[in-house]
Amino acid sequence: MLCASTALSSLFAQGLTNYGNNYRDFASKAYYFGLSFGINNSNYQIDRGRRFIGNEVIKTVESIGGPGFTVGVITNMKVGDYFDLRVIPSFAFIERNIRYSGSALLTNDTTSIESSFFEIPFQIRYKSKPYKDVKLYLVGGLKYGYDISSKSRTKRLTDEIRLSPHDFSVEAGAGFQIFLPYVIFSPEIKFTQGIGNVMIYRNELPKSNVLEKIFSRMFTISFHFEG
C-alpha cells in the first residue's frame, strides 16, 4: 500500500512538472486576442483549355510564384482543452506571375499580377497536451478573400487576362505555441488552396482563351502574438 501511494505521488508530481508556470497563467483564459505577421509565396494552379492544344503562338503557360506579406488581427476562443475557434481578418499583399512562351513572337512573355487582399479565415485548431510551456497544434479551415486592388489591375491588364476579385480557399497548417510571461508566441506554416475558379473567361483575349480555369495557391510562414 505504501509502495502504491509512493508511485502515485511520483506520477502526480511528474505530471505537474509537464505544465510550465507561464502555461498555467494562460490556461484559464477562454479568449485570446493578438496580432499576426507573415511572409508568403503565391502562385496559380492553371488548367489549360482546348485552344491551347495546337496553338501556333502560345506553346507553354506556367505560373511563377512571387513573394508577399500578411498582417492580421487574431480572435481565438477556446473550446475545451484541445480545440480553438479562430478568426483572423487580414490584409495580404501578393505577387503572382503567368509566363507565356512559344513562337519567336512570344518568348518568355510574363504577365505580373499584384493583388491586395482583404481576407477572413475561419479556422479550427487542435492542440496537444502541454509540455512545460509548449504546445504543438494542427490548424485548418476556410477562407474568403476580396482583392481590393482588382479595379486598378483590370484597367492595366484589359488586353491580357481578367480575374475575379472574389476567392474562396481551404487552409491547412501546423505550428506550436510557446507560452512566455506576457504573450503566447506561435510560429506557424500553412498551405492555402483555392477551390473556386478565379478566371473570367474572355474569348477575344489570346492570353485568356488558351486557359480554362485558374485557382490560387499560397504558402505562408506566420508569427502570431496572442495574450
pLDDT at 109 over 50: yes
Rounded Cα distance, 207 and 60, in Å: 11
- Per-residue pLDDT, averaged over 108-128, amounts to 91
1 belongs to a structural domain: no
State which H helix or E strand residue 67 sits in. strand 58-79
CB-neighbour burial class of residue 13 (10 A; exposed 0-12, middle 13-18, buried 19+): exposed
Strand 134-147 with 109-127, pairing: antiparallel
Rounded Cα distance, 139 and 172, in Å: 6
Question: 40 or 49: whose pLDDT is higher?
Answer: 40
9 belongs to a structural domain: no
Q: Return the pLDDT at 10.
A: 43
Rounded Cα distance, 119 and 19, in Å: 35
Model-level pTM?
0.82
Q: Return the pLDDT at 25.
A: 77
- Report yes or no: 116 and 146 within 8 Å, Cβ to Cβ: no
- Per-residue pLDDT, averaged over 111-119, amounts to 91
191-220 per-position pLDDT tens digit: 999 999 998 877 777 777 788 899 999 999
* The three three-digit cell numbers of residue 158, written as one number: 484589359
pLDDT category, 96, cuts 50, 70, 90?
very high
Q: Return the pLDDT at 11.
A: 38
Mean of pLDDT over the chain:
84
7 belongs to a structural domain: no
State which H helix or E strand residue 81 sits in. none
Range of 27's domain?
20-226
Angle at 64 between CA 117 and CA 205, to 5 degrees: 80
* The three three-digit cell numbers of residue 82, written as one number: 484541445
12 belongs to a structural domain: no
Total domain count, the chain:
1
- Report yes or no: 118 and 88 within 8 Å, Cβ to Cβ: no
194 belongs to a structural domain: yes
Q: Return the pLDDT at 18.
A: 63
pLDDT at 5 over 60: no
Q: Return the pLDDT at 156.
A: 55
How far from 183 is each of 24, 34, 35, 143, 227, CA to CA, in Å?
A: 13, 9, 11, 26, 5
Amino acid at 117: F
Comparing 6-10, 83-87, 112-116, 125-129, which segment has the lowest mean pLDDT? 6-10
- Report yes or no: 99 and 74 within 8 Å, Cβ to Cβ: no
Rounded Cα distance, 41 and 187, in Å: 16
pLDDT at 36 over 70: yes
CATH number of the domain encompassing residue 78: 2.40.160.20
